[in-house]
Amino acid sequence: MFFGEMVTGQKRYRVRVDEHGKLEIPASLAERFGLRAGEQTMLEENGRQLILHRPVTFLERVYVEPTNVCNLHCRTCIRNVWDEPAGYMSEETYERLLQGVKVFYPPPTLFFSGYGEPLAHPRIFKMVAAARSIGAEVEIITNGTLLGEDACRTLLKLGVSVLWVSLDGATPQGYMDVRLGDALGQILSNLRRFDQLKREYGAATQLGIAFVAMRRNIHELPRLLELGRELGARYYSISNVLAHTRQLHAESLYEQAQYDPEAEKPSLLPLINLPRADFPPDVQSALAAAIRDGYRLEISGLDALRTGNRCPFIEKGSLSVRWDGKVSPCLPLLHSHESYLGEQVRRSHAYFVGDVNDQRLDHIWCEPAYVELRQRLQTFDFSPCVVCNSCEMAEQNLEDCFGNTQPACGGCLWAQGLIQCP
């Protein structure tokens, strides 16, 4: 028999291989990651590590779009290039959503996000309260402009797990350059009040900051991290910009990373194993040169640049629900839109697996065709459109040269680790 340790975050678990060669996982972990008897999942060999993925049958997170309406007009927003009706999730649609959510055990986290401002929904606090009443954890993202004192108090009293605030600038000028409005001072005031009230209540709600990095604002990231420290931020989600226009394409920071053909075969890259160390400017320059020249980096045995071809929404065990009740496998497929894939425009057509107004969420989740799609997304057997991008199939997500039909996800920048959402 073999005994070892499994590291999960900051926790270590003693696991055992029994006399039949079967790995025994602690019951609390098995429940948290949906490892139930009879389930199938994927075991990935990654150098000296084995990565056990959650089963695709386990729903852990539901992204809920309360509205696609927003009170800001940011230069980076997808709403600048779409032609879709504006709307708010109705009380009836949300109630139907919850009827399906509460069937799952444990209930999935509800993350209020999407392509609008969640706090602009007139019933958002009742929606959060209803989710908490069925035992679901709640996260919410906001641009921070509507985060007044009453909103702060309500979210803290309701026990929201994480409040995410989207900040694409750390100075008034930097903020205005992206958000096209002079609201940073008010947002920071709101967040300082939130931190003060959190301390008064002894609340466990954590603050997260989301930042979309571009050429015009990347120099503000160090100051943003300082602000986050002052405000008590626990989490940071930093993404590249999804270029909906040629102007945004010129702002992107991933031109070489997007076209690196070696990303398709990372095991063939030379491996540099680094120790933990300080990172003064000269060390940073050396590491940047190594990455640029096509080396794979490990720091203390951990992959510093985990490669693409993995759907982050599948890895999170998530699905997404649009404001009108339509259910999609991921946030990017909630709305049809255009963005740049290299020098050409790619049309991403919305794709739905159901509608909570017509079918309960747990039934949608268990539909055989949807389960098969999640399995396909987990193995990610799609054509390498991001790297290749040389035929007309890459111009849309309708089909690819491997024979996949919609959704053909080979051109998805989320799956290549270039774009990410909290």
3-state secondary structure 328-346: ECCHHHCCCEEEEECCEEE
Q: Give the phi and the psi of residue 274 in degrees, each rounded to 5.
A: -105, 150
Q: Tell me if 78 sits within 8 A of 27, measured CB to CB.
A: no
Q: Which pLDDT score, from 0 to 100, does residue 2 have?
A: 32
How far is the C-alpha of 126 from the C-alpha of 372, rounded, in Å? 35
Question: What DSSP line would sit under 385-397, residue for residue?
Answer: TTT---SGGGGBS
Question: What DSSP line would sit under 222-255, residue for residue?
Answer: HHHHHHHHHHTEEEEEEEE----SHHHHTT-S-H
Q: Which pLDDT score, from 0 to 100, does residue 268 have?
A: 63
Inter-helix orientation angle 124-133/149-158, to 10°: 10
Give the residue extent of every domain in the chain: 57-264+308-421, 268-303
- Alpha carbons within 13 angstroms on the beta-carbon side of residue 294 total 12
Residue of 108, 103, 4, 30 lying closest to 62 (CA atoms): 108
DSSP state of 34: T
Instruction: Dig out the tokens for 11 from the structure.
Output: 């926790």
How far is the C-alpha of 50 from the C-alpha of 382, rounded, in Å? 23
Please list the pLDDT of the chain residue by residue as tens digits (422 residues): 333 343 334 577 788 888 988 888 888 888 888 888 888 888 888 777 788 888 999 999 999 999 999 999 899 998 888 888 999 999 999 999 999 999 999 999 999 999 999 999 999 999 999 999 999 999 999 999 999 999 999 999 999 999 999 999 999 999 999 987 789 999 999 999 999 999 999 999 999 999 999 999 999 999 999 999 999 999 999 999 999 999 999 999 988 777 655 555 556 677 777 777 777 888 788 877 877 777 777 766 666 656 678 999 999 999 999 999 999 999 999 999 999 998 999 999 999 999 999 999 999 999 999 999 999 999 999 999 998 888 999 999 999 999 999 999 999 999 998 999 99
Q: Tell me if 329 sits within 8 A of 320, measured CB to CB.
A: yes
Query: How many C-beta neighbours within 10 Å does residue 202 have?
Result: 7
Residue of 134, 70, 54 lying closest to 102 (CA atoms): 134
Q: Tell me if 48 sits within 8 A of 39, measured CB to CB.
A: no
Burial code (b: 16+ CB inside 10 Å, e: under 16) for 337-350 equals bbbbbbeebbebeb
- Write the CB contacts of 298 (distance below 8 Å, at least 6 apart in sequence): 47, 271, 272, 273, 274, 304
Residue of 213, 225, 145 lying closest to 185 (CA atoms): 145
Residue of 335, 332, 313 lying closest to 324 (CA atoms): 335
Looking up tokens 């009453």 gives 150
Q: What is the C-alpha R_g of the chain?
A: 22
In the chain, what is the straight-line distance between the N-terminal and C-terminal CA atoms, in Å?
40
Q: Which pLDDT score, from 0 to 100, does residue 327 have?
A: 99
How far is the C-alpha of 130 from the C-alpha of 132, rounded, in Å? 5
Q: Which pLDDT score, from 0 to 100, does residue 7 have?
A: 39
How far is the C-alpha of 396 from the C-alpha of 408, rounded, in Å? 8
Does domain 57-264+308-421 match CATH 3.50.30.30? no
SS3 282: helix
SS3 9: coil
